[in-house]
Every structure is written in structure tokens, then in C-alpha cells.
Amino acid sequence: MITLLVSIAVLIAGYFIYGKVCERIFEIDPDRPTPAFSRADGVDFVALPRWKSFLIQFLNIAGLGPIFGAVAGAMWGPVAFLWIVLGCLIAGGVHDYFSGMLCIRNAGKSFTEIAGTYLGTPVRLVLRILTFVLLIMVGVVFFIGPAHIIAEIVDHEFFTVGIISGCILFYYLMSTVLPVDKIIGKLYPVFGIIFLFMSAAIFCALFYYDLPIMELQLSTIKNFHSGGTDYPIFPMLFITIACGAVSGFHATQSPIIARCLKSEKEGKPVFFGTMATEGVVALIWAAASMSFFGGVGELNVFMSENGGNAAVVVNKVCNELLGPIGGVLALIGVVVAPITSGDTAFRSARLLISDVFKISQKSMMKRLLLSGILFALALLISHTDFAVIWRYFAWTNQTLAAFVLWTIAVYLCQQGKLYWLALLPATFMTMVVVSYILIAPEGLFLPHPIGYGVAIGVAILLLVLFFRYRLQRRSPDS
């Protein structure tokens, strides 16, 4: 229990201290008009209260990520606590704060367009494709999953997966095309509060039942995963726990709320604050998963018996620790939360396409046309094996995070600011995503020495290119 309490305390302190460092380095201007006012259109650019912006951003970036990722990540043992805390502050907080603030400074543009400004046109094209694929996969994953869960709960011949999927997609369409303050602005704050209440209730239950949580010690910093050598801590854990540590998906959501903030002062609590809050949620669920079944070994057995389905863990933990109300909270956690990430994924995809092709979104007809194309593509992809979609979603997500961190590093370099803030996590995440795709069973499944060697080589190459770029900028002849 000490590890959990200390970890939460470090995240809270990190928000105030490291978040302030990021804010000072960025040099906010409270008097600078934000896109919510300079480009107000009543659809996507709408000024919202800070508390509402916080809850919307939190639910946008959270979804199932900090729960399912933490449950699966807990299979590696207490080292998950270490990654959540360090990843959240050093990588995730920097990633979310600067990507959000750069969106504000660039008229609320999608981050792919901003990245192209600093990394060049070829990277912009790659990121457009990568981001679009990620958003569509998130949308697909987060309507197929909830549809299956609802069908199992209702268990009625009329409410088939197809019928429920259609209902969810209709809701997605409405939340994608209607002004941000109509559905998202009204429902998200309510669901966000419920989501946080569920996590707080689980946290209290851990103390009430005095569940034995394995502490983080030198002797417990090892691989407890039942997959053994096929699932080493590096890079598997760092791909599995994304939301709650660092997630490229967050950068795709930043433009939505960057168009709604009323002042640059709101950037720290909304962008860095939601990342820290998500980290706390991930810590709670990692602790609950490790302790509820009696230990990490027992968690591994339960996950293996249930096909690695974290939803079963969430449902069991909520129902048995919280009683009847736990069932309702579990339903919200595994159904409502993913739906509220799926709809904003499609909305972000619409904004991305409109930014790329410079299509005004004031017209409802244009919004419907773009959304129709997105949903047709999503339905096509939905026929793919769900497990395949999920595996590559995780890798695509962290690959995007690496690109975002490199963009921030170059931006800080151009501004003559402390670029190491982003350079270190960018280099680390590069090694994570390269090694993962090379050695993972669902990747190329190469021998580990080869995968690690190539990953280190790619990271060194990018560092050399970065410092070469820095020297060229400092040269008086350049």
C-alpha cells in the first residue's frame, strides 16, 4: 500500500512542480487571444468553462486506456507503478502539455499539421496517415467492444451486436457533426465525474478490505508476466500501459479542447492536469489488479483463463468490491468510457481531414459528408479480427507519441529552450516502438539482441540528426 500512496503523492507533486516547469519554459501569455475567441464559429471553436474543459479532455484521453492498460500491465508486477509515475510525468505530461499548447498557438490546428512545420513535409505526410489510421482504429475498437459487452449483459435476441453497433454509430455521428457544446459539452462532464468516482471508490475499497498490494522493491523489480521471455518488460510493458503513462492518442484529442480554452493559463490544469489524473487512475487499477486475486501470479492465471480480457477483471473487481453499485460503475467504465473516446476519435478525424484539405466546417452538409466517409471506412475495417485491430492500435499509438515528442524537441530547440525536456522521452519511446515491432510475437518476432540492437541504432541515428540540425541552426553561415 505504501508504494501506491507514494506513487500518487509523487504524481500530484509532479503536476505542481514539473507542470510549472513546462509552463515557464513554454512562456504562456494570458492576454493572448485563444482560438476559442479569435476563430469562434459556434461549432468547433467554442469557449467553455475551465472545469468543463478539464472533464471533457480527461474523458477524451482516458476511455478504457488507464483501466485496461493498467490491468494488463499489472501482469508484469510492481514495475508497472514505476513506469506509470515516471512515464506520466517525464513523457506523458510533457507530451500532452506541449502538444496542447502548440495547438492553441497554431489556431487550433491538428497536430499533424503542426508537426510538419517543425519536422518537414515528408513527416507531415507520414503523420497524417499514421494519425488517421489510429483515429479510425480507436473509433472501431470503441464501438465493437462496447457493443459485444452490452449484448452479453442484455442477452436478448433483438439486441444483437449489429443492432447495438448501429445505435452506437448513430450516436457517434451526432457527436461528430453537432457543435462541441451540444452533446460533448453536456454529457462528458457528467460521465467524467462518474468515471472519477468509480476510481475513487475502488481506491477506498483497497483500504477497506486491506488488500495485499505487492510493494515496489529491488527484489520485485523483475518480470512476473506468465509469458516469460516472449514478453520482456522492455518494450512490452511500455506499449501495454500507454494511457496513464504516455499516449500518442492524446495529441489527436488536444485540438478539440485547444479550440475551447479561454486562456493560455488553462493549459497546465487542462493538459498536464488531465494526464496526471489519468496516471492516478492507472495506479489505482494496477494496484487493484495485483491485489484482488491474491497476487500478481494469480492475476496472470486469471487473465490467461479469460483470454487476456481486462473487461472481465474490471467487472469482477467492481461487482465484488463495491456490491450492486459496482455493477453500474463497471458498466459505465467498460461501456460508456470507451464510447466517449470513440466519438471524439471520429470528431478528431473529421477535423484532421478538414485541416488537410482546408474544408470549412461551418456547413452541416460538409460535416455530414466527411463523417459519412469516415463511418463507411470504419464499418469496412470492423469486419477485421478485433484482436488484430487492438494489437496494432497499441503500437501505432506509441509510435505517434514518439513523433509528437520529437516535434516538441525540435520546437524547443528552435526557440532556444530546454529541449532535453522532450528529447530524452522521445529517444526512449523511439527505442520502445522500434524494438517492439521487431521482437513482439505479433511483430517480426526477431531474436531480442537483434531487435534491441536495431532500436538503439535508430535512436542514435535520430539523435545525431537532431544535434546536426541544432549545430546548423547555431552556425552563423546557416
DSSP state of 28: -
Interacting residues of 203 by C-beta distance below 8 A, sequence separation 6+: 284
Task: Read off the pTM.
Answer: 0.92
412: number of CA atoms within 13 Å, CB side? 28
Report the CATH number at residue 139: 1.20.1740.10
The count of domains in the chain is: 1
d(CA 192, CA 149): 20
Query: Does residue 468 form part of some domain?
Result: no
pLDDT score, position 14: 97
Quick one: which H or E segment has residue 12?
A: helix 2-26
Backbone angles phi, psi at 339, to 5 degrees: -65, -40
Residue 478 above 50 pLDDT? no
- Asked if the structure places residue 163 within a domain, the reply is yes
Q: How much is the pLDDT for 372?
A: 87
Residue 107 belongs to a domain: yes
Rounded-to-integer distance, Cα 478 and Cα 476, Å: 6
**Distances in whole angstroms, Cα of residue 306 to Cα of each of 26, 284, 309:** 46, 22, 6
**Residue 167 pLDDT:** 86
> Across residues 445-463, what is the average pLDDT?
97
Q: Is 184 exposed, middle or buried (0-12, 13-18, 19+ CB in 10 A)?
A: buried
Task: Tell me how crowded residue 31 is: count the other CB atoms within 10 A of its CB.
Answer: 7
Question: From CA 194, how far away is CA 278, in angstroms rounded?
Answer: 14
Cis before 235 (ω within 30): yes
> Per the domain annotation, does 257 fall within a domain?
yes
Rounded percentage of the chain residues whose pLDDT exceeds 70? 95
**Residues 271, 56: Cα–Cα separation, whole Å:** 11
Q: Does 365 fall in a domain?
A: yes
Give pLDDT tens digits for 299-317: 999 999 988 878 788 878 8
Residue 433, pLDDT > 60, answer: yes
Query: Would you say residue 169 lies in a domain?
Result: yes
Residue 27 belongs to a domain: yes
Q: Report the pLDDT value the prediction gives residue 475, as an integer from 0 to 100.
A: 67
Q: Does the pLDDT value for residue 386 go beyond 70?
A: no
Rounded-to-integer distance, Cα 34 and Cα 431, Å: 36
Least confident of 213-217, 392-396, 431-435, 448-452: 392-396
Q: Is the pLDDT of residue 325 over 90?
A: no
Reported as a single tens digit per residue, the pLDDT across 51-72 is 999 999 998 888 777 888 899 9
Task: Kindly report, residue by residue over 124-172, the tens digit of the pLDDT.
Answer: 999 999 888 888 887 877 777 677 777 766 777 777 878 888 888 888 8
Task: Label residue 29 by pLDDT band (50, 70, 90).
Answer: very high
Mean pLDDT of the chain: 90
Q: Which three cell numbers stand for residue 147?
A: 457493443
> Looking at the domain assignment, is residue 470 inside a domain?
no
In this predicted structure, what is the pLDDT of residue 389?
Answer: 61
CA quadruple 132, 137, 140, 141: dihedral sign: negative
| Angle, helices 273-292/184-208, rounded to nearest 10 degrees | 40
**Model pLDDT, residue 342:** 82
Please list, in sequence order, all residues whose beta carbon lies within 8 angstroms of the beta carbon of residue 180, skipping any fewer than 6 positions away.
Answer: 43, 44, 46, 48, 256, 259, 260, 347
In whole angstroms, give the CA distance from residue 283 to residue 243. Answer: 11
CA angle 444, 449, 455 (to 5 degrees): 70
Q: Are 58 and 277 in contact (CB under 8 A)?
A: yes
| Domain span at 376 | 2-401
